[in-house]
Amino acid sequence: MEVKIEESWKTVLKDEFNQPYFQQIPQHLKIEKSQGKIIYPPGSLIFNAFNTTPFDKIKVVILGQDPYHGHGQAHGLCFSVQYGVPPPPSLVNIFKELQDDIGIQAPPHGNLTHWAEQGVFLLNASLTVRAGEPMSHSKIGWATFTDTVIKKISGLKKNVVFLLWGKFAQEKRTLVDETKHLILRSVHPSPLSAYGGFFGCKHFSKTNEYLVSKGIDPIDWSL
């Protein structure tokens, strides 16, 4: 299968695209579509995180679980929604912490493309989902693929900040070499858990302090 993905990623992941498990993913999606299932995000946006943030440009990784499963929300960047779609509760809380941490006002939209363009890799562990069914594609091969992506970033780069929010994301810390990267952990920004430590985590300022200490340009978190 020919994967339309940015060139630096194509080089880093070329061996994965030929693996049997990866070849089965598009087959699975085709079967579901033939059964009338709606799948998010649209096909052209499945690899949006990769195409917006080239491998060479990564400074920060934020890990989500799987795409939003409501109509018109998901566009291939974790926690982000398309313009014109109200920010979901977790994203509202991310903006609240951003304001409390570094004084940036919540934007009038929930599109995080500006972050991605600066090197914030917004990766979901699953890159697709069935409409209305969270985690419905968590077992079709995406986890194997995205675990490999995290390992490649850890192995081939240095001084990347990994923001692991919630239990699911924190379980991925074993894939990261903490001797050459920074891992910042907290509970998930969901309304169910945000008051248990996401608010006040100051991950945005801590990320920039670390980047600057390594001679790397900080992220402009405004949107």
**Hey, which residues are catalytic here?**
66
Give the CB-side neighbour count of residue 51, counting CA atoms within 13 A.
Answer: 10
User: 106: which 2 tokens?
Assistant: 């919540």
Of residues 213, 217, 200, the one with CA closest to residue 98: 200
CB-side neighbour CA atoms (13 Å) of 75: 16
CA distance 160 to 167: 20
Query: Kind and range of the H or E element at 205?
Result: helix 203-213
For residue 127, how far is the Cα from the chain centroid?
9
